[in-house]
Amino acid sequence: MTDTFEKKPGAALVVFSGGQDSTTCLYWALAVFDRVEAVTFDYGQRHRKEIEVSREIAGALSVPHYVLDAALISRLAPSSLTRADIPVVSAEAARAALSEGELPSTFVPGRNMVFLAFAGILARQIGAAHIVTGVCETDYSGYPDCRAAFIRSMNESMNLAMDTALTIHTPLMHLDKKATWALADRLGVLTEIRTKTLTCYNGIVGDGCGDCPACFLRKRGLDAYLNGRVL
C-alpha cells in the first residue's frame, strides 16, 4: 500500500530512537531523500534496549548509524525516563497532570534541544542539509519541545550559530497517531513499525506494556486506524 512521495535532493540525518515515530520518519526519509543517515543519543535513558533497537533497525536498512554520548542529560534532567527511582506514571495519571497544567514525569527537560543541536553539528560534518525528527504537537504527551514553535526557533538558532542552511523536517508534526499509522501503511511498513519498534516507556518492544502514556497513544491510534482501514 505504497504511494509516491515528493523527492527532495540531498542528504538527510534522522534523529532516531527506534520508536514508532522516529522509525516512521526514517522510512519517510528513505523514500524522500537521496542519502539518509541516522543518529541515536545515549542520554543515560532508563531502557538501554532503545539503543539496541535503533542499531538493529538501521542495520537492517543499511543506514549509516551514529550513537552519540549525551549522558549529561540524565544527571541534569531528572525524569522517569532517566531515573530508576522515579516511577513511570500511567496514561490516566499523565492526562490528569496535564489537565492541572503539570508536565508528566516522563518529560526530560532540554532533551530535544540538545539532540537537535548535536544533530545539527553532525549534519554539517557529514554534508547533510536536512534533519528529520519525529516530534508532534497534535497527539502527544504535552512536551513543550515537541511544538512547531520550538522547532522553528531551534532551526533558526542552529543556522545562525553555524552560518549554515540546515532545514529541520517534522513529517509528523500535525498528524495524530491514527494518521501516523496511516503514513506507515502508505510507506508499506505497517507491520515493521508495529513489531520492531520500541515506544513503550517500560521498555517492551512492539505493542508494549499497554499502560504507560506512550503505549496508550500508540494503541489508541492503531485501533482507530485499523478499524477504519479499507482492506
CATH code assigned at 189: 3.40.50.620
pLDDT band at 91 (very low <50, low <70, confident <90, very high): low
In a domain, 4, yes or no: no
In a domain, 170, yes or no: yes
Average pLDDT, the chain: 90
In a domain, 2, yes or no: no
In a domain, 194, yes or no: yes
Which comes out higher in pLDDT, residue 95 or 218? 218
Q: Return phi, psi of residue 212, to 5°.
A: -70, 165
In a domain, 1, yes or no: no
In a domain, 3, yes or no: no
Domain count of the fold of the chain: 1
* In the predicted structure, residue 169 carries a pLDDT above the cut 80: yes
In a domain, 186, yes or no: yes
C-alpha 30: how far from chain center: 16
Nearest to 136 by CA among 185, 111, 101, 169: 169
Q: Tens of pLDDT along 118-139? A: 999 999 999 999 999 999 998 7
In a domain, 18, yes or no: yes
Q: Tens of pLDDT along 29-73? A: 999 999 999 999 998 887 789 999 999 999 999 999 999 999 888
**What is the domain extent for residue 38?**
9-228
